[in-house]
Amino acid sequence: MKRWIEETFHPHWRVGMEAEKILHEEKTEHQHLIIFENQVWGTVLILDGVFQLTTLDEFIYHEMMAHVPLMVLERPRRVLIVGGGDGGVLREVLKHPSVEKATLCEIDRTVIDQSLKYYPQVSAGAFDNPRAEIVIADGLKYVAETTEKFDAIIVDSSEPIGPSAVLHTKEFFSDCKRALKPGGILVTQNGLPFLCPEPFMNTTRIFAELFERCAPYFCTQPCYFGGEFALNWGSDDPSHLDISVEKLARRQKSRGIQTRYWTPALHVASFALPAYAEEMVRKAVSEGRGKKTSKPAAKTAAAKPQKAKAK
C-alpha cells in the first residue's frame, strides 16, 4: 500500500514524497529512520522527519562536501568525516589518491547497516576500503578526545535536532579546529538559508569567531526543498580561497577524479552568494568578530568565474 511521507522539520509548511514501498522503518537508539522507494527519487532516507538522501541526487551533496575542501589542499592525507553513515562522502574522499586514512565517525550503526543493505551503490565499496576507518561513536565526544590531526574535517550531519544538535555548537566546532592541522579546513552542512536563516547565521558567527576565514558556499540540492543549500567553510589559511579554475582543473586531471556535479568553475562560483545571503554573512561575521568588520568570502570569490570565462 502506498503511503505519503512528509518532512516535518519545518513548523509552518511541509513537503512529502510518495512511498511506493517501505523498505525499512524503525526507531533506533538515536533517531526515527525510514527508508522507502519512490518512482522519481529512487531510494530515500529520512531521519527524524527530515529528508537526508535520495539515490537520484546524492552525488551533488557528497561531491560538494568532499571535493571543495580537498581539491584546494595540495596533498590531503588524513580526513575525518563526522556523520555520513550512508558512505557517500567517504566514497568521494577516497577518490583522492593522496588520502592515506579517512576516518568516519557515525553515532548510529543502524544507518550504516541499512545503507549497505538498501542502497550500497552510494558507498560503492568505500566501507571496505583499507584506507577507511569506521568508528561508531558520538562525534562530539570523539572530536573532543582524539589526539589525531586532520587535513580536513567534514561534518555530514543532519539538521540541528536530535543527536545532530550538538554538531552545530561552538563547543563541537572548537574541538574540530583543535583537531585540524595548520592550514586545515573544516566544512559542515548548513541547511537552507532562505527559509531557515538562523542555523546558517549561527554557524557563520561561530566560524567567524574561530577561524581567520569563514566562507559559506552554495549548491543546488533538489531533494532539500526550500532554495539553495548551504555549506560552511572555516580555515585559518585564506589562500585556499584564492585558487584558480585552471589550478583546480590541473589537480582534478592529475588525481584522475571523475565527477557528475563538481567542476573547477563551479567550485569557484559556489562561493559567490546571492545578495540576501551576502547580507546575512556580513551581519553574522560582524557579530562573530565583535566590532571587527570582515568582508564575506563571496566578495573575493565571485570575481573568479569572470576571469576564467574571459580566458
Domain 3-54 matching CATH 3.30.420.40: the answer reads no
Q: How far, in Å, CA of 87 to CA of 229, rounded?
A: 20
Distances (CA, A) of 306 to 146, 303, 310: 42, 6, 6
Residue 13 has what pLDDT?
A: 87
- Which are the catalytic amino acids? 156
All structural domains of the chain with their residue ranges: 3-54, 58-301
- At the topology level, CATH places domain 58-301 in Rossmann fold (3.40.50)
Residue 306 has what pLDDT?
A: 37
Residue 294 has what pLDDT?
A: 42
Q: Provide the β-strand partners of residue 94.
A: none
Averages of pLDDT over each 10 residues, the chain, 311 residues: 87 92 92 95 94 97 98 98 97 98 95 96 98 96 97 89 82 97 97 93 96 97 93 96 97 98 98 97 93 44 37 33
Residue 31 has what pLDDT?
A: 87
